[in-house]
Amino acid sequence: MQTINIREAKAQLSRLVKQAANGDSFMIAKAGKPMVKVTALDAPTETEARRLGFMTGQMIVPDDFDQIGSEEIEQLFGCDQ
């Protein structure tokens, strides 16, 4: 993420706002210390970006999933059972 000095941000505000609106967030710093993060309003938050279960019901996992390929693996590594 790009960090921009506050003076530069003042001088290029229009360009930076367009940049953020297009999804390229940036930080504004004062004396080298990041102060604020500028991001688009419709950008997903960190919790929204990590959605669990969003494909529920769209995939089927076979009951023997953990055993698929076990014979080949045993042959490759010489396991005796």
Domains of the chain: 1-41 (3.40.1620.10)
Pair of tokens at residue 8: 């530069």
Tens digit of pLDDT for each residue in 1-31? 889 999 999 999 999 999 998 888 999 999 9
Classify 52 as helix, strand or coil: coil
d(CA 27, CA 1): 7
Tens digit of pLDDT for each residue in 30-53? 998 999 999 888 776 666 666 677
Pair of tokens at residue 60: 């089927």
In this prediction the pTM is 0.52
Q: ∠ CA 3-51-46 to the nearest 5 degrees?
A: 20
Is there a contact between 4 and 22 (Cβ–Cβ < 8 Å)?
no
Percent of the chain having pLDDT more than 70?
A: 85
